[in-house]
């Protein structure tokens, strides 16, 4: 079924024919709809590359395309770019569907730039922090207040860098803002980490305002006791990079990470000249987020934060993942006087990479996290076949990365699942990520399994039911 949708986007009236069965755009509609029907997206592009690589079962990799195309047809996301490499060689490259539906449909391309959302935490912030740790400019178990004294307000004086980077800090999940409250359908009061009766539906803008709100925030759990994924943790870490170096996070990263790795399409606040390559995200308050960060907190901060705001493409993320597999270094290709040469870029030492990507959670907790990275938590996109000890992360907009140093493999999946609106209910991309991770891992025939395990304690904990603890009756 086709729908003719007429709407105003930043003052421009557009009429668009979409082959979208029951596409729901609540931000553009005046009349409320009860329950949105199942939607579908047009098939768009389809391009696969599977170079013949020894000891890689291409028959299993051929199963990826039908899964992705089925998800597109069922409206999970408009399109996807998937990249997998093994021992320094690309084994799978897939381009599917559309990079955008609004304001006009356009096919997906391999060089499409995506809003990485929370991948910012591990691509921009975590390596910057590890560089400062390696240089002796901060200590992993030092309190944040040592570097930012006002952070100690409201009982936060003892919180350490390790606790924030593993999400065991006890801080609330986010900073309140009007746009966030609207997207999450939350009331203006009873926001976690703030007094119950305080009205938090108050606009704010800029880093200084974000800092004041963080200083006001209260703990919702004792430090080190419970895993609660918190964007505040990495807003703080991104600000610490600036406080210790005198450079905003985007400038520091360009100088010390993205520039040296020749990640030319990785940046905060991409210029308008790149807009046609960017996959737009969500229509919010009648405006399409297209080249502006989707996350409302990062947007309020001006597009640069330690928790979201980074844009990139599959090629650049592949360079970054290979750097991690190489122990912190990468041989970067460059042309000089017409000849192809290589230069060595060192981002981190191998022991710093090891520290960042191995378990740092409190002992005995089933949610295993590295410093920024997911290892075996309830958010894991590892699947069940990649070895325990591999690591990765996901982004709310539909992005993910998984890196396995044991098999020397990485898997990158980029979608814009929130475009033009996210599907209600459970995100179907969660299951798809796991299935594709299993296919890539299963295709590897040259793995020495001696001493390896691909079953983590968190995986087993979540696999079996646990009786709920009975609450003690109060007096």
Place of tokens 């359908």: 185
Q: What is the mean pLDDT of residues 357-371?
A: 96
Radius of gyration of the chain (CA): 22
Distance, CA of 351 to CA of 361 (rounded, Å): 18
Distance, CA of 290 to CA of 115 (rounded, Å): 9
Distance, CA of 283 to CA of 25 (rounded, Å): 8
- Return the pLDDT at 474: 52
Question: Kind of pairing, strands 310-312 and 283-284?
Answer: unpaired
Among residues 161, 121, 328, 350, which one has the least CA distance to residue 244?
161
pLDDT tens per residue across span 99-149: 999 999 999 999 999 999 999 999 999 999 999 999 999 999 999 999 999
Reply yes or no on whether the pLDDT at 468 is more than 80. Answer: no
Percentage of the chain with pLDDT > 90? 85
Contact present, 328 and 346 (Cβ < 8 Å): yes
Q: Where are the domains of the chain?
A: 3-30+37-122+251-463
Distance, CA of 108 to CA of 277 (rounded, Å): 9
- Return the pLDDT at 131: 98
Q: What is the mean pLDDT of residues 255-279?
A: 98
Domain 3-30+37-122+251-463 class in CATH: alpha beta
Q: What is the mean pLDDT of residues 300-319?
A: 98
Distance, CA of 97 to CA of 205 (rounded, Å): 36
**Stated pTM of the model:** 0.91
Least confident of 70-74, 389-393, 425-429: 425-429
Place of tokens 């599907």: 423
Contact present, 78 and 416 (Cβ < 8 Å): yes
Reply yes or no on whether the pLDDT at 3 is more than 70. Answer: no
Distance, CA of 224 to CA of 361 (rounded, Å): 8
Least confident of 148-152, 350-354, 424-428: 424-428
Q: What is the mean pLDDT of residues 259-276?
A: 98
- Return the pLDDT at 473: 58
* Side-chain-side CA neighbours of residue 338 (13 Å): 0
Q: What is the mean pLDDT of residues 277-302?
A: 97
pLDDT band for position 20 (50/70/90)? very low
The alpha carbon torsion through 62, 66, 67, 70 (nearest 10 deg) reads: 170
Mean residue pLDDT across the chain = 91
Reply yes or no on whether the pLDDT at 97 is more than 90. Answer: yes
- Return the pLDDT at 10: 35
Distance, CA of 436 to CA of 431 (rounded, Å): 9
pLDDT band for position 408 (50/70/90)? very high
- Return the pLDDT at 425: 83
Reply yes or no on whether the pLDDT at 35 is more than 70. Answer: no
Distance, CA of 407 to CA of 442 (rounded, Å): 11
pLDDT band for position 340 (50/70/90)? confident
């Amino acid at each position: 079924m086709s729908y003719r949708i007429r709407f105003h986007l930043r003052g421009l009236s557009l009429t668009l024919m979409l082959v979208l069965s029951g596409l729901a755009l609540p931000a553009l509609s005046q009349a409320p709809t009860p329950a949105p029907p199942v939607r579908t997206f047009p098939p768009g592009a389809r391009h696969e590359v599977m170079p013949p690589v020894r000891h890689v079962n291409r028959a299993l990799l051929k199963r990826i395309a039908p899964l992705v195309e089925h998800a597109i047809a069922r409206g999970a996301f408009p399109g996807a770019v998937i990249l997998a490499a093994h021992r320094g060689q690309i084994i799978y490259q897939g381009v599917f569907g559309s990079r955008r539906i609004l304001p006009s449909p356009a096919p997906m391309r391999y060089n499409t730039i995506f809003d990485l959302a929370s991948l910012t935490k591990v691509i921009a912030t975590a390596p910057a922090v590890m560089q400062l740790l390696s240089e002796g400019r901060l200590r992993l178990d030092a309190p944040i207040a040592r570097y930012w004294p006002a952070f100690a307000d409201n009982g936060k004086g003892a919180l350490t860098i390790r606790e924030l980077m593993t999400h065991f800090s006890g801080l609330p999940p986010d900073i309140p803002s009007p746009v966030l409250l609207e997207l999450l359908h939350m009331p203006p009061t009873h926001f976690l980490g703030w007094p119950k009766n305080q009205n938090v539906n108050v606009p704010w803008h800029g880093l200084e305002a974000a800092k004041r709100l963080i200083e006001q925030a209260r703990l919702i759990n004792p430090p080190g006791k419970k895993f609660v994924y918190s964007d505040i943790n990495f807003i703080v870490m991104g600000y610490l990079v600036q406080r210790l170096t005198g450079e905003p996070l985007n400038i520091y990263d360009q100088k010390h990470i993205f520039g040296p790795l020749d990640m030319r399409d990785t940046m905060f606040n991409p210029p308008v000249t790149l807009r046609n390559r960017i996959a737009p995200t969500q229509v919010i308050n009648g405006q399409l987020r297209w080249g502006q960060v989707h996350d409302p907190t990062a947007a309020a901060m001006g597009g640069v934060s330690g928790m979201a705001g980074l844009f990139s493409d599959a090629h650049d993320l592949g360079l970054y993942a290979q750097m991690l597999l190489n122990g912190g270094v990468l041989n970067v290709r460059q042309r000089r006087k017409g000849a192809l040469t290589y230069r060595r870029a060192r981002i981190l030492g191998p022991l710093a990479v090891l520290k960042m990507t191995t378990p740092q959670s409190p002992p005995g907790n089933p949610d295993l996290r590295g410093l920024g990275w997911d290892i075996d938590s309830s958010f894991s996109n590892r699947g069940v076949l990649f070895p325990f000890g591999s690591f990765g992360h996901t982004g709310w907009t539909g992005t993910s990365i998984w890196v396995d140093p044991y098999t020397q493999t990485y898997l990158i999946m980029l979608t814009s699942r929130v475009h033009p609106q996210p599907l209600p209910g459970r995100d179907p991309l969660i299951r798809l990520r796991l299935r594709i991770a299993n296919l890539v891992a299963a295709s590897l025939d040259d793995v020495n399994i001696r001493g390896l395990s691909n079953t983590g304690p968190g995986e087993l904990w979540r696999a079996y039911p646990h009786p709920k603890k009975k609450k003690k009756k109060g007096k």
